[in-house]
Structure 1
């Protein structure tokens, strides 16, 4: 039982989900905690790591099997033990999602737009392409016209090729222009990217994790296991938000955008939890070569650098 009441509430909230999203949480753990340490761990140590969240051994084994079937994880047998790591495809998907979480800021915007016109796609293919592009930050200006204020053209073309939709999609890029957004553009952004709904989700995130931030600041001695559990649930919830967030430029967002406060809160909590949580990972997780290796250099660059947050 945790000594931190807000953490106990977060664990209970996770356990009350119907059904428990064990596979999603395991993906979070691989991306946040395992990948920086070489990426492969013994299944038995993963079970020990996650059981305190309320996921029993059977559910963890079932979830890992499903993630393997779905192409997220792969297994390597060493004697009687199985060691799981992300597949190459799983790692690519992870990198797309997690680089949003830990980046220090949204890239500067020059006022240009990328437009994708889907009118020549069949209805079922159009739905598939639209869903994928919206995940990448595009918003619908019209039923068959999607727009993004910043996109990586190479990534966009690769995505359309994977979906076998490149030849039937029209792509346009506008020239750079004044970045100050008009009233009409702000209204269009609010509608096309469902800004009000996303802002409400960010407010809920802040309400959920602000008590944890206050409790952590009052406890100078922080239990490593509790810190790992808190860090995992923090990033798990923030990851779900970021997958919905198109990462629009500051110029297009409301002045009171809750996403800024949510990001600051997430970064501050993460910094407080990071060192003790890393100690717990080192105690519990095992690789085929023995103890968990040190975290990669890129790990220290998360959120613009993992220097301890001021208390």
Structure 2
């Protein structure tokens, strides 16, 4: 199969998913392509970008409306045209999630843990905060106790304030009192984050995108639009797995952890097709002033540096 055939298969696999979560794909497009170019885009540009992956204009409109109602997006009307950008809370969520996606460097773990105690929250609010913490990569140590090996207390304050949970939540930073890789700790980590299931998701990601990478090394004739589609699906699928990954220290992970291979594959593919994807975005994205500006400098620092 050619690289184009492999891309067509990726698009076909995406279209078969039910329900087709267009809202999640739109967030991927914002994070990967629109935020680096100022963050605001015409609704018609979104429709043009997503039509080749099988997302209809009607579904884009419905999904954008839902994202606006859920405080991810905000609208600005200029004449008969609507332009959308991330809200403050939406931008915060984006920055937390996508900072992990493009970061190749992993700081050495000190053995500290960020612990969050939710027992004083009423049931509905506790569920809401717990879901948000899980979205940020926290695992459940015990009923009402969430943990993360790298999160800082200051990073949680905006979330707790938005959920009106700051005064009823206890946040602590723990320090290690025993070996960082004790048997009990490794067993607890596997249980709290369900590493077996997470490993399977990384394996599925590798099985999806390795064939495209292998074909690109042999024959690379993808068009700028093809490269944008491939890059979007790549980051979309990788982001979905990574959001459930707390990026645990290597000391606590299995020796054959597939997350390492998935990160390298994502980096290599992204670097290979990114420049041509940007060519397509140069000609497609518009805001109220015309074509979107070029990506900001931080864009080119993704995955350790882009050409």
Q: TM-score range by the shorter chain?
A: over 0.9
Contact 1:202 1:262 in 2 (8 A): yes
Cα distance, 1:194 vs. partner? 0.6
Cα distance, 1:19 vs. partner? 2.4
**Do residues 165 (structure 1) and 165 (structure 2) align?**
yes
How does 1:43-192 map onto structure 2 within 5 Å? 43-176=43-176, 180-192=180-192
Contact 2:136 2:244 in 1 (8 A): no
**Distance in 1, Cα, partners of 2:214 & 2:247:** 28
Flag structure 2 segments of 5+ consecutive residues without an equivalent.
none
Deviations 1:31-66 (A, max 9, x none): 101111111222222211211111122222222222
Cα distance, 1:120 vs. partner? 2.9
Deviates more, 1:61-70 or 1:176-185: 176-185
Q: Report what 1:243 is aligned to.
A: 243
Contact 2:3 2:212 in 1 (8 A): no
**Do residues 285 (structure 1) and 278 (structure 2) align?**
no
SS of the residue 2:243 aligns to: helix
**Distance in 1, Cα, partners of 2:282 & 2:290:** 10
Deviates more, 1:38-47 or 1:251-260: 38-47
**Do residues 233 (structure 1) and 260 (structure 2) align?**
no
* Alignment CA distance shift 1:306-1:177 (3 Å): farther
Q: Structure 1 length as normaliser, TM-score? A: 0.92
* Alignment CA distance shift 1:158-1:43 (3 Å): closer
Contact 2:116 2:169 in 1 (8 A): yes
Deviates more, 1:126-135 or 1:189-198: 126-135
**Distance in 2, Cα, partners of 1:144 & 1:70:** 26
Deviations 1:48-89 (A, max 9, x none): 121111112222222222222222222223333222222222
Contact 2:73 2:86 in 1 (8 A): yes
Cα distance, 1:178 vs. partner? 6.5
**Do residues 35 (structure 1) and 20 (structure 2) align?**
no
Q: Report what 1:205 is aligned to.
A: 205
Deviations 1:244-296 (A, max 9, x none): 11111222111111100000000100011101000011111222222221110
**Distance in 1, Cα, partners of 2:69 & 2:126:** 27
Deviations 1:68-125 (A, max 9, x none): 2222222223333222222222212211111110112232211112222333333333
**Distance in 2, Cα, partners of 1:204 & 1:91:** 29
* Alignment CA distance shift 1:266-1:179 (3 Å): farther
Deviates more, 1:151-160 or 1:220-229: 151-160
Contact 2:138 2:146 in 1 (8 A): yes
**Distance in 2, Cα, partners of 1:125 & 1:80:** 39
Cα root mean square deviation, aligned: 1.9
**Distance in 2, Cα, partners of 1:137 & 1:71:** 21
How does 1:264-279 map onto structure 2 within 5 Å? 264-279=264-279
* Alignment CA distance shift 1:114-1:82 (3 Å): closer
Contact 1:111 1:178 in 2 (8 A): no
* Count of residues paired in the alignment: 306
**Distance in 1, Cα, partners of 2:90 & 2:174:** 33
